[in-house]
Amino acid sequence: MTDLINPATGTVFTSVPSLGLEETDAAIERAHRAFGMWRRVAPGERAELLRRFAAMVDTHVDELADLEVRNSGHTISNARWEAGNVRNVLDYYAGAPERLSGRQIPVGGGIDVTFHEPLGVVGVIVPWNFPMPIAAWGFAPALAAGNTVVLKPAELTPLTAIRLAELAREAGLPPDVFTVLPGKGSVVGQRFVTNPAVRKVCFTGSTAVGKSIMSGCAEQVKRVTLELGGKSANIVFADADLERAAAAAPASVFDNAGQDCCARSRLLIQESVYDRFLTLLQPAVQEFRVEDPSLPSAEMGPLISADQRATVASYVCDADVAFAGHAPAGDGWWFPPTVLLAHSTEDRHWREEVFGPVLSVLPFRDEAEAIRLANDTEYGLSGSIWTRDLGQALRVSQAVETGTLSVNSHSSVRYWTPFGGVKQSGLGRELGPDALLSFTDVKNVFISTDC
Ligand code: NDP
C-alpha cells in the first residue's frame, strides 16, 4: 500500500494499493485480449461510448476536483478546469472514430487503399503535476483510435485516475479497455516498456526517465511519445504593453506552484525597460494569493511533497533574491513565489528546471540577443513573446526553438491544438488533430482487379 499525503497539511489521509509485476502483467494480458474486441466495435458505437464517458466526467467534475485538491494541493479553480479538460478532451476525440478514414491511391491493375489501424495495448505513464489532463491526453485519443489502455498514475497522485477508470466502466466501456494500475514507476511503468504486448508508451515526466524509457522501447522498436521538462522563456520587448506583461507574468510561472513543464521560468527583459518592468512586477508577485487551495480565491497552493520543497529551496538559498511573495506558515509543503536575478546564463537556477515557484530574470540588448538567450537551453517546450511590433513577433516566433509559443499572452494548451516539445523537451505531439494518428499504424492494401 502507498500512503497519500495532503500537501496542504502534510498529513496522511488515505492509502492505495501498489501493484507488483505479476498483477501488471495480468492486467496487460487482459487489455491485450480486450483489444481484439475493442478494435472491432463499430466506429459510431465507440464514439457513443466515449461521449457517454465524457458526460459521466461532466457530472463528476466537482468530485474529481475535490479529490485533486486533497491529493495534489491544486487550487480548486485549477482542479475544476482540469476535470473539465478531461471531459473536453474525451468529447473532442469522441468525434474521431467515424472520421479516421484512410485513402484510396490511384494505381494500375487494381485498387489501393490505406487503413489507420490501432496499435494494440497503449501504456500511459502520468506524472504528479497534472494527474487528470495528462492522463486524458493519452487515453482519450488512444481509445478513440481503437487501442486499449493501461495507465500508471504517479505514486503520489493516483486518486483521480482511479476514479476516472471507474467512471469509464459506469459509462459503459467494456472491461479491460481502460485500466488504471497504481504502483511504482520502476515496477509498473517499467513493465510497460519491457512487456511486448504493450505496443506504445506515452510518457510525461522528467527528461532523465524519458530517455531511459526511449532507450528501453528501442529494444522492441516500440512507439513512444515523450513530454519532458522545460525551461521556457518569457521575452518582454521594450515596446510591449508593460503593464499587461507584468500583470500576466506571475501566473505564467507560479500557476500550479511552478510545477508545470510549460512554466515561463526564464524572464528576459529588454534592458531599456528592465528597471521599470521589475517595478511593475514586484506588486504583482507580492499580491499573488498563496493559500488553502480549497478556497476559491487561491491562486497557488503548496508544492507536492517535502522532497520537492527541499529541491526548490536548494535553488534559492545561494541566489540573488530580487523579491518574493507570501506563503502560509506551518504544516504543508509551502513555498513563496520568488524572483531571482540571474548574473550569468550559467547560474543553476537559470539553466535547470526548478519545478517550483521560482522565476529567474535576465536583461537583453536587442532582438538577436533575446533569441540567442532564449535558445541557450537543452529544452524547447513553450514560451511567450511580448511586443507590439508584428514583424518582430513573427521573426522571433520563427527563431525561438520551441514547440508551443504565445504572443502577448501565456496560453499553451487548448485541447484542439497540438502540444509538445522540441530538443530535449520531448518527441511527438499530444492533443489537436495530430495526436490521433500517432496511436495508429498505416496499412496499405492493393486489390487486383485482374481476376
Ligand atoms: P519522474 O520522471 O520520475 O516520474 C514521472 C512518472 O514516471 C511517474 O509516474 C513515475 O512513477 C514514472 N517513472 C519513474 N521511473 C520510471 C521508470 N524507470 N520507468 C517507467 N516509469 C517511471 O518525475 P519525478 O516525479 O521524479 O519528478 C522529478 C522532476 O521531473 C521534477 O522536479 C520535474 O523537474 C520533472 N518533471 C517534469 C514533468 C513534466 O510535466 N514534464 C512532470 C513531472 C516531473 P512514480 O510514481 O513511481 O514516481
Burial readout 98-133 (b: 16 or more C-beta within 10 A, e: otherwise)? eebeeeeeeeeeeeeeeebbbbbbbbbbbbbbbbbb
**310-354 per-position pLDDT tens digit:** 999 999 999 999 999 999 998 999 999 999 999 999 999 999 999
Number of Cβ atoms within 10 Å of the Cβ of 44: 9
Q: Give residue 196 CA to ligand 1 midpoint distance, Å.
A: 22
Q: Give residue 206 CA to ligand 1 midpoint distance, Å.
A: 5
Q: Cα dist. 239→18, 93, 327, 366, 427 in Å?
A: 54, 41, 33, 12, 35
Q: Cα dist. 221→198, 199, 259 in Å?
A: 11, 9, 32
**269-286 per-position pLDDT tens digit:** 999 999 999 999 999 999
CA distance 240 to 229: 28
Task: Pick from 124, 125, 413, 423 the residue to mutate for probing ligand 1's pocket: most ligand atoms within 8 Å of its CB.
Answer: 125
Q: Residue 162: its pLDDT value, please?
A: 98
| Res. 412: pLDDT tops 80 | no
Residue 309 backbone dihedrals phi, psi, to 5 degrees: -65, -40
Closest protein CA for atom 16 of ligand 1 = 185
Percent of the chain residues past pLDDT 90, beyond the cut: 99
Beta-bridge partner residues of 179: 150
Atom index in ligand 1 nearest the CA of residue 153 equals 9
Identify the CA nearest to 209 among candidates 305, 97, 118, 125.
Answer: 125
Q: Residue 357: its pLDDT value, please?
A: 98
Per-residue confidence at 214, pLDDT binned at 50, 70, 90?
Answer: very high
Closest protein CA for atom 30 of ligand 1 = 206
Percent of the chain residues past pLDDT 70, beyond the cut: 100
Write out residues with Cβ below 6 Å of ligand 1: 125-129, 152, 154-155, 184-186, 189-190, 204-206, 209, 212-213, 227-229, 261, 353, 355
**Burial category of 260 from C-beta neighbours within 10 Å (exposed 0-12, middle 13-18, buried 19 and up):** buried
CA distance 64 to 170: 15
Per-residue confidence at 451, pLDDT binned at 50, 70, 90?
Answer: confident
Q: Give residue 405 CA to ligand 1 midpoint distance, Å.
A: 24
Closest protein CA for atom 20 of ligand 1 = 189
Q: Cα dist. 156→7, 320, 371, 373 in Å?
A: 10, 32, 37, 35
The chain-wide mean pLDDT, for the chain, equals 97
| Res. 394: pLDDT tops 80 | yes
Identify the CA nearest to 208 among candidates 183, 186, 233.
Answer: 186
Identify the CA nearest to 311 among candidates 258, 351, 355, 256.
Answer: 355
Instruction: Give the H/E segment covering residue 384.
Output: strand 383-386
Closest protein CA for atom 13 of ligand 1 = 185
**126-176 per-position pLDDT tens digit:** 999 999 999 999 999 999 999 999 999 999 999 999 999 999 999 999 999
Q: Give residue 205 CA to ligand 1 midpoint distance, Å.
A: 4
